[in-house]
Amino acid sequence: MSQLLENYFTLVKKILPEKSKVTSVGVDIGSDSCKLVVLAKGPDDYEIQQCAIEPVENSNTAATIKRLLDKSKIEVKSLNTAVFGKGTLIRYIDLPRMSLDELKKSFAFEADKYLPFPQDQIYTDCYILDPKGRDKKMSVLVAAAKKEVINERIQLLGQLGLQTNFISVNALAIANVFHAVGLGPEAAPNDPPEAKAAYALFDMGENVSNLIIFKENLPRFTRDIFIGGLELSKRISNCLGISMSEAKKLKSQPQTRKEEIGTACESVFNSLISEMRLSFDYFITEKNVLISRLYLTGGSSMFEGIVDIFAKGLDIPVEQWRPLKKMKFSSEISSEEVVRNESRLAVALGLSLY
């Protein structure tokens, strides 16, 4: 965790060899499922060599990870992973201009000014977003996670005989895809010029959803919203009188019950849209930059009709994010199956890029 953001946006390029490929493993440990991406990184391209998703059964995360790794065709001894939700925090602050080394040294003594956690209970790291900022000021991204959250993750993987190379935060792993691989959104003809526009990405998880706003493909705002797919499943289950397992299936495959499901989930989406509008309004007022487009990812973004729901509620163009569009695929995997699940793979992909 001490390297949570160290070389955050440059690490990928720095470790790329000139003539050979390096394989990296990213594992996204979620509350509903665990995802694995094995990526081979070369001088000019990225190839997905393996990909797997396993549901978490009976809250047994360790067993899920073991099943996930058993499916891998390579022996995994070390990996990159991430944490999310309560006990983690991302902040954006303005500070006097200084070098990154000076920033890290000084922030170690001033973290209490900016973070709600006692300093002796957290790991922190920071990154300078605008090294060429104006007025002798710079914008700094600060990430923090409670030590107990990180230690639990390390202990979990250690029990499986795994070494942790790098622990990030889910939202930063996703941002890594935007920046490091050049998969940021391509402006549509009617979008404002890049310097005058921002793009939002909403990663809708099972329990926690992440809203990230990018400007020039760098994150400038991040927020956890504690509403996700679980709330949708509960509403469907209660309103339709069916089991939670049936409700989860109907979320993405409503078949003839689309109208019923839409009505059941309306209050959940209204709450999400209200929270997102508050964040958009704050960002636009603070940064004086328009948000031109919203991209959706995460397993719960596979809800049928979700694009139209958010487009109508937020009054901006909305589309599903396609983070794999510039990736190559190993001949040993089904690219069709991977692409079909790409909404669920963004975090694992970002982790495999480190």
Q: Which residue did the predictor score with more confidence, 328 or 184?
A: 328
User: Do 341 and 298 touch, CB atoms closer than 8 A?
Assistant: no
Which pLDDT does position 331 carry in this prediction?
Answer: 85
What band does 194 get if pLDDT is binned at 50, 70 and 90? Answer: low
- pLDDT digit string (tens) for 296-338? 999 999 998 999 999 999 999 999 998 888 788 888 888 888 8
3 state SS of 330: coil
CA 252 – CA 262 distance, rounded (Å): 11
Report, as an integer, the average pLDDT of 190-214: 83
pLDDT of residue 7: 44
DSSP 206-221: SS-EEEEEEETTEEEE
pTM to 2 decimal places: 0.87
pLDDT in tens, 116-127: 888 889 998 889
Torsion of CA 95, 114, 227, 169, to 10 degrees: 70
Where residue 110 falls among pLDDT bands split at 50, 70, 90?
confident
pLDDT at site 339? 87
The per-residue b/e assignment along 226-239, b for 16 or more CB within 10 angstroms, e otherwise, is ebbbbbbbebbbee
Instruction: Note whether 199 and 293 are within 8 A (CB).
Output: yes
pLDDT beyond 50 at 10 = no
